[in-house]
């Protein structure tokens, strides 16, 4: 199963035709996805399930419905077990960005974190997950697939927000402050933290 976020509303992509009374289900192979998304954006649909019996084909079928933008980012932890956040568009987020041609996903993740925050000495320690959300570019709907990595750094220098990308602040936050920041974040970021930290993994050592 996958979740594709339209703003903070998740579209469920699964192998089950029925997942609950609230949900309107559409066959993934034939659904007019952009039409469904526009209904969600207008508030006409809130609970959507896209289904196909073969789990191995879910992403392949989904990617045929809309142009996909590949991105990568990091959940960065320092020696004090603080997490690196950026503040953009009135929400707390994690640094990420689009991959460049002939660039590996891992290299893109490190580059984007460095560019958006000024943090150096980054080491990827673990792949976490991929998230999916819909956005508009030049008036057209796009699907962004973001590859998330856990990173570690002992950098204690100045944090420099990439203002040309609309980033207003860069902050290190401890566990409690991270929880508070998530109340003003995005659903896919909350899901990422739920999987990694807020489900009892906050004490994991990153090294």
User: What pLDDT is recorded for position 196?
Assistant: 64
- pTM for this predicted structure: 0.90
User: What pLDDT is recorded for position 112?
Assistant: 98
User: What pLDDT is recorded for position 137?
Assistant: 87
Q: How far apart are CA 26 and CA 136, in angstroms?
A: 23
What Cα–Cα distance (Å) separates residue 74 from each residue in 14, 70, 106, 124, 155?
27, 14, 10, 8, 15
Answer yes or no: are the C-beta atoms of 184 and 169 closer than 8 Å. Answer: no
Q: How far apart are CA 33 and CA 39, in angstroms?
A: 10
**Please, what are the averages of pLDDT over each run of 10 residues along the chain (207 residues)?**
95 96 97 97 96 97 97 98 97 97 96 98 96 93 97 97 97 95 95 66 36
Domain residue spans of the chain: 2-63, 68-196
**CATH class of segment(s) 68-196:** alpha beta
Q: Which residue is listed with tokens 């990153």?
A: 206
Cβ-based neighbours of 129, under 8 Å, separated by 6 or more: 148, 192, 195
Q: How far apart are CA 151 and CA 24, in angstroms?
A: 39
Answer yes or no: are the C-beta atoms of 110 and 33 closer than 8 Å. Answer: no
């Amino acid at each position: 199963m996958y979740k594709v976020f339209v703003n903070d509303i998740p579209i469920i992509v699964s192998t089950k035709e029925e997942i609950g009374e609230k949900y309107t289900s559409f066959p993934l192979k034939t659904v007019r996805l952009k039409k469904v998304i526009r209904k969600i954006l207008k508030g006409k649909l809130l609970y959507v399930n896209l289904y196909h019996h073969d789990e191995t084909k879910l992403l392949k079928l989904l990617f045929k419905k809309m142009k996909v933008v590949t991105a990568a980012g990091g959940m960065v932890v320092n020696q004090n077990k603080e997490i690196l956040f950026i503040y953009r568009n009135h929400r707390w987020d994690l640094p990420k960005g689009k991959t460049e041609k002939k660039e590996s996903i891992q290299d893109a993740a490190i580059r984007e974190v460095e560019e958006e925050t000024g943090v150096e000495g980054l080491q990827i320690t673990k792949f976490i997950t991929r998230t999916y959300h819909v956005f508009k570019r030049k008036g057209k709907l796009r699907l962004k697939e973001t590859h998330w990595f856990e990173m570690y750094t002992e950098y204690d220098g100045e944090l420099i927000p990439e203002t040309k990308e609309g980033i207003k602040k860069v902050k290190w936050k401890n566990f409690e402050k991270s929880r508070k920041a998530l109340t003003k974040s995005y659903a896919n970021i909350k899901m990422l933290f739920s999987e990694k930290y807020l489900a009892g993994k906050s004490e994991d050592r990153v090294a």
